[in-house]
Structures are given as structure tokens and as C-alpha cells.
Amino acid sequence: MKNDIGFKGFGLKDEDIKKSVTVNFEGKDYDITQGSLVIAAITSCTNTSNPDVMLQAGMLARNAVKKGLTVKPYIKCSLSPGSHVVTEYFKEAGVQSYLEELGFSTAGYGCMTCIGNSGDIPDVIQDAVIDNDMIASAVLSGNRNFEGRVHPHTRANYLASPPLVVAYALAGTVDHDFETQPIGQDQDGKDVFLSEIWPTREEVQVVTEGSIKPKMFVDVYNNILKGSQMWQDLEAPAGKLYSWDDDSTYIHNPPFFQKTEAELKAIPDVNNAHCLLNMGDSITTDHISPAGKIAKNSPAARFLAERGISDKDFNSYGSRRGNDQIMARGTFANVRLINKMVDQTGPTTKHIPSGEEMAIFDAAQKYMEAGTDTIILAGKEYGSGSSRDWAAKGPYLQGVKVVIAQSYERIHRSNLLGMGILPLQFKEGENAETFGLTGSEQFNVDINGGDLTVAQDIEITTNCGKSFTVMCRIDTDPEVAYFQNGGILHYVLRKLM
């Protein structure tokens, strides 16, 4: 089934596993195979805070360069440590130049590739991957590798320590056995194995003790709040209140409080709601929340283009997370999203009244303009992965009123309620397929004005005669109050009022 293909598998047939395609890059032919590496990134705030593994990566690069080993030129390598101190002790240890020789130049500091800000891979490589349906790989030292997050066209994304990122970059593929396969050939054409150039713990300890100095941390963190010269040169308006600019594509006054009134109003029932998405198991917050690069021809890209922004300046969802208009358009924009209502993988759904297939945001917009509520059907572990506020804010802005899933990640369930979206759960052993639901039905949910109780049963009826009982996943009494207020934001504001 289509739903079986996800981040827990690639659905390859036996004859496709060994598939290979030859690509000419910068005048030389290279074989792209399943698992070929296209991104290698020493990145993020976690592993890069450990001087031992960072210096081990630098020492491995030094040993590799001295053996004459190289990284294939189409592999996008980058170094983005979490602290400027790393640059200082790399220089002290004398390993910075070796990392740069392999392609690991410092591109910045912070998340970068871990949050999808890797930038483009070469067009000829990307075209080969797309046209031949190849599974390209990324290896990074970050802490997240969900589908479509690192890069939209790297389906296999693996987390590794910084020295292993260097090792896989040298190997050129994740389909590599370091114990039995050489990592490359030296200047004389002799096979070199990883074990021959891997720095020992004792060697690393000597370099660490000789390179790390307290003064480095003192100097860097004494100046960290000053920012760069560009930051210092920014003009900041005076006053306690922020002056909203409606023309800004980076920061926009969000609509969360625009309809907040002092008095509570009854929460209306959900009647004749259409299904926006019908999804399977393990839908992560990275499938839901806007992350990574803003793809050309996406609703967010169209929005920016209409405002005179060229595609080279689209930037990422992370950089534009202060603009709700962008983030609403980037919700469910993951290229690996599997929606049972359409045959293709990606951010597409069927607008039931018209029968047209379109971008998920476009369908949501049509439903909202028509005054039609929408729901989401999902399987197990809905909202798993890292907690993301926009994974709840985005569906709220798209008009979603109810999610019906088999089970929820704990924090995401809470976040949905915090935005006034009602999380409902199928009974044990039941799901959308149990009741023959395809997403083409219209759904009715009696919310009783918001006067619900913890874990109560709620009956769902449809326009085609199907009905079933689900459990309300309001788990605590305070959450009842949050929902009755239309979410925790309105609850807090009314408390302040």
C-alpha cells in the first residue's frame, strides 16, 4: 500500500536497489547509486558543543588529506558549529585548513542544515536524482533527520558524529562498510581504510588538552551580545510597542487575537466538514510544520513572487517564521507527505466539492472562503518528532477544526488544544480504514458548545450514513477551559483582561 512507504522505508523493488545512473559534473563522469551522498554537514548546537568529537573530525580530515584522499566535488559539505569558540580551537589545533580542503568550510554558526538550510545541491545532480527516482543521502551531525527537512530531495538522511560525517563524505555513499571496504586510495593508488586514518581517543585527548583554552570562551562570550557589525548598524525604532509593517514579508501582525472578545461564546458544532487530509501513521511535526527551503511554485513562493521577491531571495521558512501568511502557506508543504486522498506524494490534496487536486493551502483557502469547516484524519503517532508550535498554528490558520487520529505525540496533542483544535482519538483497534473512510465524506461533530469533559466519548456522523464513536483527547480539566476559550492564547488574554 502507498501508506506503507514513509520515513521507515523506501519501498524499493529488488531490481531497483542496485540501480545506477552516470552523471557528468564539471567535465567528469560520476556514478550516482542508491544511497549516494549529496550533503555532508557538521552542524547544529548539540554534537558541535563537544570539543573532542569536533577535533576528532578535524584530525580525521588532516589524516585524510595527508593520504591524498578527496571528497567528490558534487557533495555539498559544510561546517556550521554552534559556537564561535569552535573556530578558535580549530585554528589552535591546526585542523581548520584540512577541513576546508575537503570542503568543510565554515558557512555560519547554528542549526543550518539540521533545519534544512543547506541550500541547493548542483542542478545536474538534483535532476539525475529526480528523473531517475534515486534515493540520495545526507549525513549530518544534527539532531533531526525527518523526511523533507534536511533537503527536499535527500530521502535518506542519517545522523552521525562529526568525524563520521567526514568519513561518509570521503566514502561518497551511506551504503558503505568501513571495516571491509576502503574509504579511498592514496597518492600511490593503494587502498586506504578508515581504521588507518581514524584518530585514537588518546590522540584526540592530547590535541584537546593542548588546544582548548579558557580565554577562548571568555573572549567569545564577552562579545557575543554585540553581534556582527551588520547587526550593530541596524536602525531600531524607539518606543515600547512594535510598529507593524503590513508590507514586510518577514514579520507580520498575526491574526490570533483579532477576534478575541471579553465574553466567552459557545464553541460551534462542526457540521458538514470536509476532510483536508487523510494520512497514515507516523506523521511528524516536520511533515506538518513549515521547515527548510521555500520551494519554487509553492503557495509561499507564489505569495512572495506577487510581492516582488525574486526566487533567490525566498530564503527559508525558518527565517520567515515571524510572518503568519508565509507559515500558513508552508504548513503541510513537505515533499514526502503521503495523503491517501491523492496518488502523488507531496503537499497536494483533493478539494472535494470541485474534485480538483491542488496544493493543500489552496484547498484550505477555498474551504475557508466558502465557510466550510475541515478536519484531518490520521493514524498512529500523529505529531511525533520535535515539538513545534507552528505544527499547531499552521493547521489553525488553514481552518482545521478537528483532528481524528489513532494516537498522538503527547506535546503535539497539547499544542493542538492550545490553538483550539479538538484532538479526537479512534477507539482501540479502529481507524479510518476500519470504517471505510476515504476522506470524501462530510463529517459532523457535536461539540456541545465546548462543554466537554475529560476523555468523554463523542459520536461522529457522516453524510453517507457512516457513524462511529471516538474519545475526546482533552486530558485535564484546565484543558477543558483552554478549549472553551478557543485555545490557550485567548484563555490567557481573557485572564489579563
Task: Please report the pLDDT score of residue 235 as a whole number.
Answer: 87
Which parts of 174-228 fold into alpha helices (H)? 194-197, 201-211, 214-222
Write the CATH number for 178. 3.30.499.10
> What is the rounded CA–CA span in Å between residue 275 and residue 395?
13
What is the arithmetic mean of pLDDT over 264-278? 95
pTM of the model: 0.85
What is the arithmetic mean of pLDDT over 157-168? 96
Let me know whether 282 and 353 are in one domain: yes
Let me know whether 116 and 187 are in one domain: yes
pLDDT category, 3, cuts 50, 70, 90? very low
Is pLDDT above 70 for 9? Answer: no
Let me know whether 162 and 282 are in one domain: no
Let me know whether 220 and 279 are in one domain: no
Let me know whether 355 and 407 are in one domain: yes
Mean pLDDT of the chain: 92
Do the beta carbons of residue 148 and residue 287 sit within 8 Å?
yes
Let me know whether 196 and 276 are in one domain: no
Let me know whether 341 and 472 are in one domain: yes
Let me know whether 52 and 115 are in one domain: yes
Structural domain tally of the chain? 2
Task: Please report the pLDDT score of residue 2 as a whole number.
Answer: 44
Position 345 in a domain:
yes
What is the arithmetic mean of pLDDT over 452-456? 95
> What is the rounded CA–CA span in Å between residue 246 and residue 256?
16
Write the pLDDT tens digit of every residue in 191-217.
999 999 999 999 999 999 999 999 999
Let me know whether 182 and 38 are in one domain: yes
Per the structure, the complete domain to which residue 421 belongs is given by 270-289+331-496
Packed helices 85-93 and 214-222: angle between N→C axes, nearest 10 degrees = 150
Write the CATH number for 362. 3.20.19.10
Let me know whether 222 and 353 are in one domain: no
Is pLDDT above 90 for 147? Answer: no
Do the beta carbons of residue 10 and residue 155 sit within 8 Å?
yes
- Tell me how many degrees the CA angle 11-15-18 measures, rounded to the nearest 5: 95
Let me know whether 275 and 397 are in one domain: yes
> What is the rounded CA–CA span in Å between residue 259 and residue 489?
12
Position 114 in a domain:
yes
Let me know whether 161 and 36 are in one domain: yes
What is the arithmetic mean of pLDDT over 99-113? 91
What is the arithmetic mean of pLDDT over 429-434? 96
Task: Please report the pLDDT score of residue 430 as a whole number.
Answer: 96
pLDDT category, 5, cuts 50, 70, 90? very low
pLDDT category, 480, cuts 50, 70, 90? very high
> What is the rounded CA–CA span in Å between residue 186 and residue 68?
5
Task: Please report the pLDDT score of residue 8 as a whole number.
Answer: 58
Task: For residue 221, give the 3-state DSSP assignment.
Answer: helix
What is the arithmetic mean of pLDDT over 63-67? 97
Position 281 in a domain:
yes
